Amino acid sequence: METDKNKAIFLDRDGTINFDLGYVYRVEDWKWADEKVPQALRMFQEEGYKLIVVTNQSGIGQGYYTLHDMQVLHQHMEQELKKERVIIDLIMYCPHARDSRCACRKPRTGMMIDAERRMGGIDFTTSWTIGDKLLDMEMGQSVGTKTGLLQSKYWANTDIVNRTKQPDMIAESLYEAAKWILKARQ
Protein backbone atom coordinates (compact mmCIF):
# COMPACT_ATOMS: atom_id res chain seq x y z
CA MET A 1 0.00 0.00 0.00
CA GLU A 2 1.20 3.50 -0.76
CA THR A 3 1.64 5.88 2.13
CA ASP A 4 1.63 9.69 2.14
CA LYS A 5 5.19 9.77 3.35
CA ASN A 6 7.96 10.65 0.94
CA LYS A 7 9.86 7.84 -0.61
CA ALA A 8 13.28 8.62 -2.01
CA ILE A 9 16.14 7.37 -4.07
CA PHE A 10 19.34 8.24 -2.26
CA LEU A 11 21.99 8.54 -4.92
CA ASP A 12 25.70 8.41 -4.60
CA ARG A 13 27.25 10.87 -7.05
CA ASP A 14 30.70 9.83 -8.31
CA GLY A 15 30.47 6.50 -10.13
CA THR A 16 26.68 6.49 -9.93
CA ILE A 17 25.50 9.71 -11.58
CA ASN A 18 28.76 10.87 -13.15
CA PHE A 19 31.77 8.95 -14.29
CA ASP A 20 34.28 8.82 -11.45
CA LEU A 21 37.61 10.20 -12.58
CA GLY A 22 38.65 10.68 -8.95
CA TYR A 23 37.99 14.02 -7.24
CA VAL A 24 35.73 15.37 -9.95
CA TYR A 25 35.21 19.12 -9.50
CA ARG A 26 35.57 20.75 -12.92
CA VAL A 27 32.59 21.20 -15.19
CA GLU A 28 34.68 20.00 -18.13
CA ASP A 29 35.24 16.70 -16.30
CA TRP A 30 31.52 16.09 -15.85
CA LYS A 31 30.39 13.05 -17.77
CA TRP A 32 27.41 10.80 -17.06
CA ALA A 33 28.39 7.45 -15.61
CA ASP A 34 26.20 6.04 -18.34
CA GLU A 35 24.32 7.88 -21.08
CA LYS A 36 20.99 6.71 -19.65
CA VAL A 37 21.51 8.27 -16.20
CA PRO A 38 19.09 11.18 -16.86
CA GLN A 39 16.51 8.75 -18.19
CA ALA A 40 16.88 6.54 -15.11
CA LEU A 41 16.39 9.52 -12.81
CA ARG A 42 13.31 10.60 -14.74
CA MET A 43 11.84 7.12 -14.37
CA PHE A 44 12.23 7.30 -10.59
CA GLN A 45 10.84 10.83 -10.51
CA GLU A 46 7.79 9.84 -12.54
CA GLU A 47 7.09 7.07 -10.02
CA GLY A 48 7.01 9.65 -7.24
CA TYR A 49 10.41 9.14 -5.71
CA LYS A 50 12.30 12.15 -4.35
CA LEU A 51 15.82 12.33 -5.76
CA ILE A 52 18.44 12.96 -3.11
CA VAL A 53 22.16 13.03 -3.84
CA VAL A 54 24.36 11.90 -0.96
CA THR A 55 28.04 12.41 -1.67
CA ASN A 56 31.36 12.31 0.16
CA GLN A 57 33.48 15.22 -1.07
CA SER A 58 36.63 14.85 1.00
CA GLY A 59 38.55 16.67 -1.74
CA ILE A 60 37.23 19.86 -0.13
CA GLY A 61 38.55 18.96 3.33
CA GLN A 62 41.82 17.92 1.81
CA GLY A 63 42.15 21.21 -0.09
CA TYR A 64 42.03 19.75 -3.61
CA TYR A 65 39.11 21.97 -4.54
CA THR A 66 36.74 24.38 -2.85
CA LEU A 67 33.14 24.29 -1.73
CA HIS A 68 32.47 26.84 -4.45
CA ASP A 69 33.95 24.54 -7.12
CA MET A 70 31.60 21.79 -5.98
CA GLN A 71 28.61 24.12 -6.00
CA VAL A 72 29.37 25.27 -9.53
CA LEU A 73 29.62 21.64 -10.61
CA HIS A 74 26.31 20.81 -8.94
CA GLN A 75 24.65 23.73 -10.70
CA HIS A 76 25.93 22.30 -13.96
CA MET A 77 24.57 18.86 -13.05
CA GLU A 78 21.18 20.33 -12.20
CA GLN A 79 21.07 22.37 -15.40
CA GLU A 80 21.90 19.36 -17.52
CA LEU A 81 19.23 17.32 -15.75
CA LYS A 82 16.66 20.07 -16.14
CA LYS A 83 17.05 19.76 -19.90
CA GLU A 84 15.92 16.18 -19.42
CA ARG A 85 13.04 17.28 -17.16
CA VAL A 86 14.67 15.91 -14.03
CA ILE A 87 14.70 17.88 -10.79
CA ILE A 88 17.03 16.90 -7.97
CA ASP A 89 15.19 17.47 -4.69
CA LEU A 90 18.18 17.73 -2.40
CA ILE A 91 21.97 17.46 -2.52
CA MET A 92 23.72 16.38 0.68
CA TYR A 93 27.49 16.41 0.84
CA CYS A 94 30.21 15.71 3.37
CA PRO A 95 33.08 18.15 2.80
CA HIS A 96 35.30 16.69 5.52
CA ALA A 97 38.62 14.92 5.10
CA ARG A 98 38.77 11.14 5.05
CA ASP A 99 40.10 10.86 8.59
CA SER A 100 37.50 13.26 9.95
CA ARG A 101 35.29 12.09 12.79
CA CYS A 102 32.31 13.99 11.43
CA ALA A 103 28.87 12.42 11.58
CA CYS A 104 28.26 12.86 7.87
CA ARG A 105 30.98 10.98 6.02
CA LYS A 106 29.62 7.77 4.48
CA PRO A 107 29.19 5.07 5.71
CA ARG A 108 27.99 7.17 8.64
CA THR A 109 24.37 8.17 8.47
CA GLY A 110 24.44 11.91 9.22
CA MET A 111 23.48 12.97 5.70
CA MET A 112 20.53 10.56 5.64
CA ILE A 113 19.18 11.77 8.98
CA ASP A 114 19.61 15.38 7.90
CA ALA A 115 17.94 14.74 4.54
CA GLU A 116 14.99 13.06 6.24
CA ARG A 117 14.47 16.12 8.41
CA ARG A 118 14.88 18.60 5.56
CA MET A 119 12.37 16.79 3.39
CA GLY A 120 9.81 16.83 6.20
CA GLY A 121 9.94 13.09 6.63
CA ILE A 122 10.98 10.19 4.46
CA ASP A 123 9.91 6.59 4.74
CA PHE A 124 13.24 4.80 4.59
CA THR A 125 11.60 1.39 4.23
CA THR A 126 10.14 2.30 0.84
CA SER A 127 13.30 4.11 -0.22
CA TRP A 128 16.47 2.94 -1.91
CA THR A 129 20.13 3.82 -1.62
CA ILE A 130 22.07 3.34 -4.84
CA GLY A 131 25.82 3.60 -5.11
CA ASP A 132 28.95 1.95 -6.42
CA LYS A 133 30.72 1.26 -3.14
CA LEU A 134 30.03 -0.84 -0.10
CA LEU A 135 30.06 2.28 2.06
CA ASP A 136 26.94 3.38 0.21
CA MET A 137 25.31 0.03 0.97
CA GLU A 138 26.32 0.18 4.61
CA MET A 139 24.88 3.66 5.07
CA GLY A 140 21.62 2.76 3.35
CA GLN A 141 21.22 -0.44 5.33
CA SER A 142 21.94 1.36 8.61
CA VAL A 143 18.88 3.56 8.22
CA GLY A 144 16.70 0.82 6.77
CA THR A 145 16.53 1.58 3.05
CA LYS A 146 16.83 -1.06 0.41
CA THR A 147 20.15 -0.96 -1.40
CA GLY A 148 21.37 -1.28 -4.97
CA LEU A 149 25.04 -1.72 -5.82
CA LEU A 150 26.32 -0.61 -9.20
CA GLN A 151 29.23 -2.28 -10.92
CA SER A 152 31.57 0.64 -11.54
CA LYS A 153 35.34 0.64 -11.82
CA TYR A 154 35.54 -0.35 -8.15
CA TRP A 155 33.67 -3.55 -8.79
CA ALA A 156 36.79 -5.72 -9.01
CA ASN A 157 37.75 -4.66 -5.47
CA THR A 158 34.30 -5.04 -4.02
CA ASP A 159 34.34 -7.79 -1.46
CA ILE A 160 30.70 -8.66 -1.47
CA VAL A 161 31.16 -12.32 -0.64
CA ASN A 162 32.28 -11.74 2.92
CA ARG A 163 29.52 -9.37 3.87
CA THR A 164 26.76 -10.51 6.17
CA LYS A 165 24.29 -8.02 4.72
CA GLN A 166 24.02 -8.23 0.97
CA PRO A 167 22.62 -5.44 -1.20
CA ASP A 168 19.05 -6.03 -2.34
CA MET A 169 20.14 -5.69 -5.93
CA ILE A 170 23.27 -5.49 -8.08
CA ALA A 171 23.12 -3.81 -11.47
CA GLU A 172 25.43 -2.71 -14.24
CA SER A 173 24.09 0.83 -14.40
CA LEU A 174 21.62 3.20 -12.81
CA TYR A 175 19.28 2.63 -15.72
CA GLU A 176 19.32 -1.14 -15.20
CA ALA A 177 18.74 -0.53 -11.49
CA ALA A 178 15.77 1.72 -12.24
CA LYS A 179 14.19 -0.83 -14.53
CA TRP A 180 14.61 -3.56 -11.91
CA ILE A 181 13.37 -1.50 -8.95
CA LEU A 182 10.34 -0.10 -10.73
CA LYS A 183 9.37 -3.46 -12.12
CA ALA A 184 9.90 -5.07 -8.73
CA ARG A 185 7.40 -2.67 -7.20
CA GLN A 186 4.56 -3.53 -9.52
> For residue 89, which amino acid is it?
D
> What does 102 interact with, of Zn ion, Mg ion, none (CB < 5 to 8 A by kind)?
Zn ion
Task: Please choose, out of 9-17, 18-26, 99-107, 170-178, the segment that lies near Zn ion by the rule CB under 5 A.
Answer: 99-107
- Residue 112 engages Zn ion in binding (rule: CB under 5 A): no
Q: Closest CB to Mg ion belongs to which residue?
A: 15
Task: Please choose, out of 15-23, 43-51, 88-96, 136-144, the segment that lies near Zn ion by the rule CB under 5 A.
Answer: 88-96
- Residue 102 engages Zn ion in binding (rule: CB under 5 A): yes
Three-state SS sequence of the chain:
CCCCCEEEEEECCECCCECCCCCCCCHHHCCECCCCHHHHHHHHHHCCEEEEEEEECHHHHCCCCCHHHHHHHHHHHHHHHHHCCCCCCEEEEECCCCCCCCCCCCCCCHHHHHHHHHCCCECHHHCEEEECCHHHHHHHHHHCCEEEEECCCCHHHCCCCCCCCCCCEEECCHHHHHHHHHHHHC
* Shortest Å, Cβ 36 to Mg ion: 17
- Residue 132 engages Mg ion in binding (rule: CB under 5 A): yes
| Catalytic residue annotation | 12, 14
Per-position x/- string for 13-52, each x denoting binding to Mg ion as judged by CB under 5 A, each - no binding: -xx-------------------------------------
**What is the rounded distance in angstroms from the CA atom of residue 130 to the CA atom of residue 176?**
12
Per-position x/- string for 28-67, each x denoting binding to Zn ion as judged by CB under 5 A, each - no binding: ----------------------------------------
Question: Residues in the site for Zn ion, rule: CB under 5 A?
Answer: 94, 96, 102, 104-105
